[in-house]
Amino acid sequence: MNSHVVVPLADQAILGVGNLALAEGEPSGWRAKSVAAYADTVDVARSQLERRLAERLRLLTGYVPPREGLVVDMAGRSASAVMDGVLFLLRGDDLVIVRPCAHCGTGRFVSESLECVTDLGYALAVWEPFHRDCEPVDPPDDESW
Ligand SMILES: [Zn+2]
């Protein structure tokens, strides 16, 4: 058996070029169709993100923010909402809250993923994010024991 039987790629490539040339000659609105298809996809994705965030917030808190309170960031593929001053962010499947540094009040820190109301309670009541330089200094180790 000769393992060097070559598939005539050259002929196929030429055929492909010929097909392309034909397609270019057609008066088709392929650009507009492509852009419209993309825009539809973005609209669907935006609506899905809004719905998923609203549903996750409803399950977690029992409340749903008004639709106009939902902000979708298609570039970041995330959705956010502020409820009673708390910024919720849905990224992928992770619903988190975003808070500033507990010391200087700047920056944006993301909590652990909130799976249940207990996670949310911890994030609201206990979690205190700090910039590295803002972390409280630990008291010196007690070496008396
Ligand atoms: Zn800080």
pLDDT truncated to tens, each residue of the chain (145 aa)? Answer: 455 555 555 554 555 555 555 555 556 789 999 999 999 998 898 999 999 999 999 999 999 888 888 999 988 789 999 999 999 999 989 999 999 999 999 999 999 999 999 999 999 999 999 999 999 887 666 666 5
Q: Which two tokens stand for residue 27?
A: 């008066």
Q: How far is CA 65 from CA 10, 84, 89, 137, in A?
A: 60, 10, 13, 39
* 38 Cα to the center of ligand 1, angstroms: 41
Q: What is the whole-number distance in angstroms between the Cα of residue 122 and the centre of ligand 1?
A: 20
User: What pTM, to 2 d.p., does this model score?
Assistant: 0.70
Residue identified by tokens 């097909």 is 19
The residue whose two tokens read 């949310």 is 120
Tokens for 120, please give them. Answer: 């949310």
Domain ranges of the chain: 30-134
Q: How far is the CA of 73 from the centre of ligand 1 (A)?
A: 25
CA angle 20, 39, 24 (to 5 degrees): 15
User: Distance, CA 8 to ligand 1 centroid (Å)?
Assistant: 65
